[in-house]
Amino acid sequence: MKNYMKVSFSAKVENVVFTRTVALGFLVNLDLEIGILNEIKTAISEAITNAIVHGYQNDETKTVDLIMYYDDTKITMEVIDYGIGIENIEKAKTPLFSSKVEEERAGLGFTIMDVFSDELIVESELGKMTKVVMVKNYHESREH
């Protein structure tokens, strides 16, 4: 691991923009292509929004953790909430599935995270936590 950071913040939707800025600031020394940076910030936004809306059901008194680290070839991003958990991860990852149908949510959060990551791992324990791990290979994509 070449570098590591962790930030904890209130589970407020307005903090999604803050975390995107923190993530990009953390990665600035890697001199990444703008397309890769856009994919990373979009994937992080989706994971954090899911934590706030689904994990904590918009309870702003809760805290979300964003952990990022990188080496010479990949960037790893972890978004952790200590909320209600996910009952069926595979079902939740199905495109267009949403547990918030009444809010007219698109149900594409995990799909977007998966498309913009080279690896997506979701761990969850009901009533305890959900951790979304996204890995982005960055030297590979520069060779194309």
Kindly name the residue from 50, 60, 119, 137 that is annotated as catalytic: 50
The pLDDT value given to residue 112: 92
The pLDDT value given to residue 85: 95
Kindly name the residue from 58, 105, 123, 137 that is annotated as catalytic: 105
Choose among 50, 56, 60, 68: nearest CA to 138.
68
Asked if 89 contacts 68 with a C-beta cutoff of 8 angstroms, the reply is no
52-105 pLDDT per residue, tens: 999 999 999 999 999 999 999 999 999 999 999 999 888 787 766 565 555 555
Kindly name the residue from 15, 39, 46, 78 that is annotated as catalytic: 46
Domains and CATH numbers, the chain: 3-142 (3.30.565.10)
Give percent of the chain with pLDDT exceeding 70: 87
Report the largest interatomic distance among the alpha carbons of the chain, rounded to a whole angstrom: 45
Average pLDDT, the chain: 89
The reply to whether the predicted model has a pTM over 0.85 is: yes
20 part of the active site: no
The pLDDT value given to residue 105: 53
Taking each helix axis from N to C end, the angle separating 15-27 and 34-50, rounded to the nearest 10 degrees, works out to 140
106 pLDDT tier (thresholds 50, 70, 90) = low
58 conformational bin, left if phi > 0, alpha if psi -120 to 50, beta if neither: left
Q: Inform me whether the pLDDT recorded for 30 exceeds 70.
A: yes
Q: Inform me whether the pLDDT recorded for 140 exceeds 90.
A: no
Choose among 111, 23, 115: nearest CA to 67.
23
